[in-house]
Structure 1
């Protein structure tokens, strides 16, 4: 009898061993620009081949404002259909309560990343998201056109505007009626907060809200910076720029119809693509400085990370996926395909990357001028702060009131928001 029971037990064990472990089905939500989603799919295909698990991409609009709004709805509803979220650098404090603490699971890999980026994703001692690439914008310029007209790469916004107007006028006289001087992100969304923060900071006007919580945006330097940008509309920038996000700006630029562009690193590899009319004709430089006391170059710090939802049905596999996408191998794969800036320090010394994407080592100069958005002092209220800021800026650019009046109104609104607690 005992022998028969032993045989049955062995048979049952063999059956269990022969039963394949069911593959996990995961979903990752991501909004991206350029060829970002395509490259993510290629990275996921490699993960699927290695692990046997399946990963579906839930695509989102490229607008970070729209993405964040949808994320909040899904997380508030306890949605278990999404396992992994691709998150902006500013979102960690606002979403932390509904995301998995990755501290323990990633302790073997975090040291490879820039410490400041890991710190930006740490809330109350918990690592909320693991970085996959970082971001800071630059000034893209048509080096062929600057050479043609004997112009220098501008160091200040005033120089940029004068050079843009001169080349734009001459190119139009030569027959290119579609040429503009400068394109940027002028739509009323998070991208405008980034652009306008750069104008204000570079002109010595502060950071909207300082690290200690002081509301600083209502000052003469900030007003001057916004009036400067307002003067570009219809002169060196198309009136339609007030509706541009990243891709609309790139569309004008990459068809060869702009002298200068403010944009993120992803536009570099696309501009040098085989089918690009401007391949080999452009380069990048740090964004221009403003004028007056405290003037400097300023580039808004960006970047994207991966977080695991607390409502995921497969959190362990989701964490494995996050570590895979954030790994040195996959960051290298991404940078070679997209020119996204890696967060793994060692990759800046990788000769293959330096050869294929010479922009990467040079982007360190841009990062020296990086300035954070005020998400740390405003915490969960950051999105309301940013919305009020970009609204005031957009009104100014559109000719609805002066910069001074709009910033004075903004200060009142921000003071009320601060009084309610952030």
Structure 2
């Protein structure tokens, strides 16, 4: 689940600080264009002389707003085409609705054989489905090279073949209020690698009533996304993978491989993490926006969220108030990957566009704007900068000016290192991405996640079943939903 592909909650709450914290922008920077492997590398037909018409890129809504950064990148690529005398131009089409609705729109258009879309921006969990159905083209292997973080690169293939290029990644992180812990008498407010959930719960216990009396608005220890949507699936998989190291509920062919014993252990972990003494009651009705707003409003001291929250929260909280650490246990990968539709008559040019949007400079731009880059060089190459014109990188202690590529309405207060990267990028974000796990990979992911969330919601009923009974029920239903050995 990368912030950019999950549904909003349906419960209509509007936390007071929501407007202040939802200012993150999804910046996809420019990169140098490169040659295309062409039809010989993939076995796909050439462009058949289709040099006219736009390369249409279908994606979800650009959170930077009308004329936002995605549109600016398309315009930049178009200018480069003009400079080289190319007749190709790209055009961005934003799909309305939730992630599920966007997926349905894309499936309908591509299954009908329509060539309306040339490039589609797919959630990482959709890649097996679109590839297995023959809706997207195989891509040249060199589109995903050794510079791409290995865990992220693995989201782009299916059946041993490359069908997409990682565009922006995502991973679960733990955000926390340093000031709340300090006010409760905690001397070491620096959480980091190796922090366990038991440690988080001990800190919550330490705060106790003292936290409520010392902090106006404080209610419970932590919050996350437990509404019946993909957020619950993500929290569940993180618990399952933490409880059973290396647990994979599907194999390389997408067949279900779980057991009642493993499911029971995962359900116990999820129940322990989210039990009432520690978890904000509204978490069971929260998606990303709601949980982010509750944390920013001061109702909790801990939050499980995605990297874009780092920039969002720093608009209203400073470094003495806000901390971020790897999520205890295992965290789930999210993000989006770019693919070329099978029906595209401009496949070669579309692949060149994808190279432009997923190259080294592009990923550095993405990181500079506060999101998870897919390439190691974005984190480690101090000589790499975003290709767009912008002021020199500020120091880690300064309050940097917003990048010209950003359309955020307020000043960018995100802490940065001397190279202009988010201050936590190398030591926290990159290791989290490298150690993250994927959700089950299957062409029937829709059936999996619907079954999974439906059963997990029973944990939060007035009279929940035991972990063993729920594990047996979940096991049986997943066997019906997915092929299995």
**TM-score above 0.5, yes or no:** yes
Asked whether 1:225 is paired with 2:269, we answer yes
Which structure carries more helix by proportion?
A: 1
SS in 2 for 1:303: strand
1:346-404: CA deviation from partner (whole Å, max 9, x where unpaired): 222133685331222112332353222221xxx22232122211211122124453233
Relative distance call for 1:123 and 1:117 in structure 2 (3 A) is same
Residue in 2 that maps onto 1:46: 76
Q: Normalization by structure 2: what TM-score?
A: 0.70
Q: CA deviation at 1:181?
A: 2.1
For structure 1, list consecutive stretches of 5 or more residues without a partner in the other structure: 1-20, 289-296
TM alignment of 1:190-201, pairs within 5 A: 190-201=230-241
User: How many equivalent residue pairs?
Assistant: 382
Residue in 2 that maps onto 1:372: 438
Relative distance call for 1:27 and 1:200 in structure 2 (3 A) is closer
Relative distance call for 1:177 and 1:257 in structure 2 (3 A) is closer
Q: CA deviation at 1:286?
A: 1.9
Residue in 1 that maps onto 2:166: 131
Q: Distance in 2 between matches of 1:36 and 1:364?
A: 31
Q: CA deviation at 1:74?
A: 2.9
SS in 2 for 1:241: helix
Relative distance call for 1:388 and 1:278 in structure 2 (3 A) is farther
Residues 56, 90 of structure 2: 8 Å contact kept:
yes
Residue in 2 that maps onto 1:381: 444
The correspondence for 2:222, drawn from 182, 203, 207, is 182
Structure with max Cα Rg: 1
Residue in 2 that maps onto 1:343: 374
Relative distance call for 1:395 and 1:65 in structure 2 (3 A) is farther
Asked whether 1:77 is paired with 2:112, we answer yes
The correspondence for 2:363, drawn from 308, 316, 331, is 331
Q: CA RMSD in A?
A: 3.1
Asked whether 1:281 is paired with 2:321, we answer yes
| Most deviating of 178-187 and 145-154 | 145-154
SS in 2 for 1:57: strand
Residues 209, 217 of structure 1: 8 Å contact kept:
no
Q: Distance in 1 between matches of 2:63 and 2:259?
A: 32
Q: CA deviation at 1:179?
A: 4.3
TM alignment of 1:59-98, pairs within 5 A: 59-61=95-97, 64-96=99-131, 97-98=134-135
Residues 82, 309 of structure 1: 8 Å contact kept:
yes
Q: CA deviation at 1:54?
A: 4.2
For structure 2, list consecutive stretches of 5 or more residues without a partner in the other structure: 1-50, 83-88, 383-392, 394-415
The correspondence for 1:318, drawn from 350, 353, 369, is 350
Q: Distance in 2 between matches of 1:287 and 1:194?
A: 12
Relative distance call for 1:29 and 1:407 in structure 2 (3 A) is same
Residues 144, 281 of structure 1: 8 Å contact kept:
yes
Q: Normalization by structure 1: what TM-score?
A: 0.79
Q: Distance in 2 between matches of 1:139 and 1:215?
A: 27
